[in-house]
Structure 1
Amino acid sequence: MEAALVSAATRALKPVLEKLGALVGDKYKRFKGVRDDIKSLTRELTAMEAFLLKMSEEEDPDFQDKVWMNEVRELSYDMEDSIDDFMQSVGSQDSKPDGFLEKMKNSLGKMKARRRIGNEIHDLKKQITEVAERNERYKAREVFSKAKNTTVDPRALAIFQHASELVGIDEPKAEIIKLLTQGASTQEKMNLVSIIGSGGMGKTTLANQVYQDLKGKFQCRAFLSVSRNPDMMNILRTILSEVSGQRYTDTEAGSIQHLIIKITDFLVDKRYFVVLDDIWDVDTWHVLKHAFPVTSSGSIIITTTRINDVAESCRSRPYNGDIYSIKPLDMVHSRQLFYTRLFNSEENCPSYLEIVSEQILKKCAGLPLAIIAISGLLANTERTEGPWKEVEDSIGRALERNPVLKE
């Protein structure tokens, strides 16, 4: 569809450029007043044609570019019609007239044709310029809008939370450290734990707390987010930069294979601790795992994921690792997290808000991210039952309409 649109716009431009070229040729050199406009219009259209050819290589042009291509195509048809009319008009007047009156009519006709083509070329040039400027203006607004509306991933902020602000983290952290350090005294093997859980359960926060506790014991360490659509070159360069201590700009770009070899060669005789957060597919893990030599005894890797197949793949040979299923907060810890974000240490939840608070916490189902988000909303809401009840009622309406969303 998009390729056809580009092709149609390019096809529409081609005959216009050819005919404009004819207008600046010897046959029409007597129309001096419009030659400069014709040359300027030709340059503008040539630049547009080059851009369209470049667009033909794009797999999915954005909507604004598609609108612009349609406008170029329609304007091209208008220009071709105008040029054809002018050429036909001038051609019919090129025969030698007989008599004084015929000569006068011919001369007046040429003057009218010259003025008409001059006005039309000027108008067309103005329209083409406006189309180009409008496209640039809205493209610029689109870039600004995207930059302005960029959101911060709450998982990215999780790593900056101090341990004293966290709730219910101590027990799972101790369990994971135990899994990772089994056999570490003899440094017989490399250990791996894959933390699995749904979104908002606190996997990143938990992995980071373990990382902060243990990283000082390792020569080489790295903590990075993989994400749903990973840029593998960028991820591997970041790993190389962090484990080697080089600045990112000093690491070689190379290829994926080259970077994996560089990382492996660097880590082969060292103890390392790496956290690969938020892995979404098995193929991504199969690429990344080659960067970490299993012969580095005493090294550890933590992966986090919400996908069962990824967790199973991470724990399989040659790692023989463990899977840790993160659990939601119990009601005691849920209340603690909820209330500490809404009331100071010397303040208790008002009795008239206790029932609605309990209903809100039940709907949050022990997900730390949900509790944090809702408490943040309520912190800016009047402390009366009515507004809090509205918030409670609004949670889960989408679930009522679409039960598939429940999990």
Structure 2
Amino acid sequence: MAEAVTSVLEKLAAVLLEKVREVQAVRGQIEQVQKELRLIQALLKDVDSKCNRNNVVTEWLNQISEIANRIATVIDTFQVMIEENRAESSNWFVRNINRSVKRNYKTYKLGLHVELENIIEELNRLYQRRTDLRIEDLGALDDVDDPEPSDDVDDPEVVGLEDDQAKIIELLLDRSISRRTVLSIVGTGGLGKTTLVQKVYKSDKLEGQFDCRAWQSISQTYNLNDLLREILYSVKPHMEKKNSPVKDRDLPVKLKSFLRGKRYLIILDDVWDINLWGQLKMTLPDMYNASRVIITTRSLDVAKAADCNTKPYMPHYLSDAEGLALLFRNAFQQHVQPENYPHLLDVAKRLTKKCGGLPLALVVLGGILTRRERNYTAWNTLDETIDWHDKDGKQCSQVLARSYEDLPQYLKDCFLYFACFPEDYKISVWRVTRMWIAEGFVPKDGAGTIEDRAEKLLQELVERCLIQVTKKSWNGYCKYCSMHDLLRDLAIRKAMDENFFTVFSKKKRC
């Protein structure tokens, strides 16, 4: 970590050596960034010399890493703009381009001042937080694993899943079955399998029951070595922090060696490949100590291939009452009693019934209703304008399509842009909002800086239940996000229909 900060300091020093007017305009800010970074660099050297870290310290270090990358990006961009601004040519066409570049530079320079000020404030805040987090006394801190999913994410909706959660926990803790068992959670997309397993994974009832745990999202495309490495680093985080990367050929042996004798819980979320378990099982030893593996999948064949002796668990579709509660919770963005809104109850029941008990459809439909007037006419119009009987008979598809059509154009572009990221990719909010700005998706008018407006656009997509927050910063801001694979499929289809981008892939979703 200290090396990363050192590298950034070297970049800053190189910029300050430039004797050009562009640097003089921001010299004071760059020197202030240097000053703050040197304080943090000295602190990092002390942190690296002590082995005990907890989740909070690890998160603090991650924030340092992110801001170091952010500074490096700002400086690289600044140096490019300097070179382009100084470019001269006798060619008429190139001179016109250069004039355009200079105009762009002036615009960029205004943003640069703001960005550097934000960086200075962030560095100062991170340094001041050292006392609150006891970073200066790491020897007293215990090391605690922080497996996925992150605990600082808001609890997902679990309407109607409470019984399922209790039954799965009971199966996991049943020591009468001593062999390593694979419990498969099987169901259609949007049924809430991942949400259910997240609640199980974070349940207090599992505290202290397993020696180590790991959570991995798989999806259709995966690399076995990368998967083994992620599991190894999840159950043994010090190996990633202190050593050079484990070589591919050593991964199976090291993972098996570490897990031998330990009672473990491994979650494999969204498995598509029927051969995955056959490739993975030899690295997960069966010591007859009631270790457990959970797989979520849409395929019953995948479940049977993983463990033919354990009956797959199939979450139930929501009842009308459960669906109604979930719809109102998402439409009102808070816990409310449907009975308290008698003028909406009849149309809400019709909307709920047509979703077929599929949680994702109800959540997204609730997101659409957040932007509608809370009266019968507005909700009934939505009911009448959705084609509930699409040709494929998929009750969720028209709800998702309508959620896209309901977006203003500037939000449509932002939504489609998420489909550029790989499936199950952990998307940095800071990065994607800056990409939107670069693409010109963020309206130029409005209150606050353009960065503030971009973050408000993302928040609106979250409120519409089109984007999921997967990690928040310590102060409550959205840090990482993701897109449900059904919504990603919708975004890809819409993007291709509208020539927003083109997808080249040898694999197609089933």
Normalization by structure 1: what TM-score?
0.55
The match for 2:383 is 392
Counterpart residue identity of residue 162, structure 1: D
Alignment pair present for 1:363 and 2:354 = yes
The match for 1:190 is 180
Deviations 1:306-346 (A, max 9, x none): 11211111113xxx333101111111211222223326547
Distance 1:225 1:215 in 2: 22
The match for 2:324 is 335
Distance 2:247 2:381 in 1: 54
Please say which structure displays the higher CA radius of gyration.
Answer: 1
* More helix by percentage: 1
The match for 2:11 is none
Distance 1:290 1:394 in 2: 53
The match for 2:155 is 162
Aligned length: 260
Distance 1:294 1:123 in 2: 73
- Given that 1:273 and 1:301 are in contact with CA atoms closer than 8 Å, whether structure 2 keeps it comes out as yes
Counterpart residue identity of residue 189, structure 1: R
The match for 2:341 is 350
The match for 2:278 is 286
Distance 1:272 1:321 in 2: 18
Judging changes above 3 Å, is the alpha-carbon distance between structure 1 residues 200 and 251 closer, same or farther for their aligned structure 2 residues?
farther
Distance 1:156 1:364 in 2: 28
Judging changes above 3 Å, is the alpha-carbon distance between structure 1 residues 396 and 291 closer, same or farther for their aligned structure 2 residues?
farther
- Given that 2:191 and 2:315 are in contact with CA atoms closer than 8 Å, whether structure 1 keeps it comes out as yes
Judging changes above 3 Å, is the alpha-carbon distance between structure 1 residues 205 and 379 closer, same or farther for their aligned structure 2 residues?
same
Judging changes above 3 Å, is the alpha-carbon distance between structure 1 residues 205 and 161 closer, same or farther for their aligned structure 2 residues?
farther
| Offset of residue 358 of structure 1 | 1.0
Distance 1:379 1:158 in 2: 27
Judging changes above 3 Å, is the alpha-carbon distance between structure 1 residues 344 and 267 closer, same or farther for their aligned structure 2 residues?
closer
1:180 to 154, 172, 175: 172
| Offset of residue 394 of structure 1 | 4.0
| Offset of residue 239 of structure 1 | 0.7
- Given that 1:198 and 1:306 are in contact with CA atoms closer than 8 Å, whether structure 2 keeps it comes out as yes
Distance 1:314 1:248 in 2: 29
Q: Between the two proteins, what is the percent identity of the paired residues?
A: 31
The match for 2:189 is 199
| Equivalent residues in 2 for 1:106-117, closer than 5 Å | none
Distance 2:279 2:191 in 1: 26
| Equivalent residues in 2 for 1:281-320, closer than 5 Å | 281-316=273-308, 320=309
Distance 1:247 1:254 in 2: 9
Counterpart residue identity of residue 358, structure 2: L
Instruction: Give 5+ residue unaligned stretches, structure 1.
Output: 1-121, 134-154
| Offset of residue 159 of structure 1 | 9.2
Judging changes above 3 Å, is the alpha-carbon distance between structure 1 residues 273 and 325 closer, same or farther for their aligned structure 2 residues?
same
| Offset of residue 305 of structure 1 | 0.5
Counterpart residue identity of residue 203, structure 1: K
Q: CA RMSD in A?
A: 3.6
Judging changes above 3 Å, is the alpha-carbon distance between structure 1 residues 328 and 404 closer, same or farther for their aligned structure 2 residues?
closer
- Given that 1:196 and 1:203 are in contact with CA atoms closer than 8 Å, whether structure 2 keeps it comes out as yes
The match for 2:462 is none
Distance 1:252 1:396 in 2: 55
- Given that 2:270 and 2:298 are in contact with CA atoms closer than 8 Å, whether structure 1 keeps it comes out as yes
Counterpart residue identity of residue 298, structure 1: A
Instruction: Give 5+ residue unaligned stretches, structure 2.
Output: 1-89, 102-147, 397-510
Counterpart residue identity of residue 207, structure 1: V
Distance 1:176 1:207 in 2: 9
| Offset of residue 283 of structure 1 | 2.4
| Offset of residue 256 of structure 1 | 4.3
Alignment pair present for 1:210 and 2:200 = yes
Answer 1 or 2: higher relative contact order, Cα 8 Å, separation at least 6: 1
Distance 2:151 2:384 in 1: 28
- Given that 1:270 and 1:296 are in contact with CA atoms closer than 8 Å, whether structure 2 keeps it comes out as no
Counterpart residue identity of residue 305, structure 1: T
The match for 1:264 is 256
Distance 1:280 1:329 in 2: 24
The match for 2:373 is 382
Distance 1:199 1:346 in 2: 28
| Offset of residue 296 of structure 1 | 4.7
Counterpart residue identity of residue 333, structure 1: E
- Given that 1:189 and 1:297 are in contact with CA atoms closer than 8 Å, whether structure 2 keeps it comes out as yes
Counterpart residue identity of residue 217, structure 1: Q
2:212 to 205, 220, 235: 220
Judging changes above 3 Å, is the alpha-carbon distance between structure 1 residues 346 and 174 closer, same or farther for their aligned structure 2 residues?
closer
Distance 1:258 1:169 in 2: 40
| Offset of residue 243 of structure 1 | 1.0
| Offset of residue 374 of structure 1 | 1.1
Distance 1:241 1:376 in 2: 37
Distance 1:180 1:359 in 2: 38
State the SS of the aligned residue for 1:323: coil
Q: Which moved more, 1:271-280 or 1:221-230?
A: 221-230
Judging changes above 3 Å, is the alpha-carbon distance between structure 1 residues 375 and 177 closer, same or farther for their aligned structure 2 residues?
same
| Offset of residue 280 of structure 1 | 1.2
The match for 2:364 is 373
Distance 1:286 1:404 in 2: 34
The match for 2:314 is 325
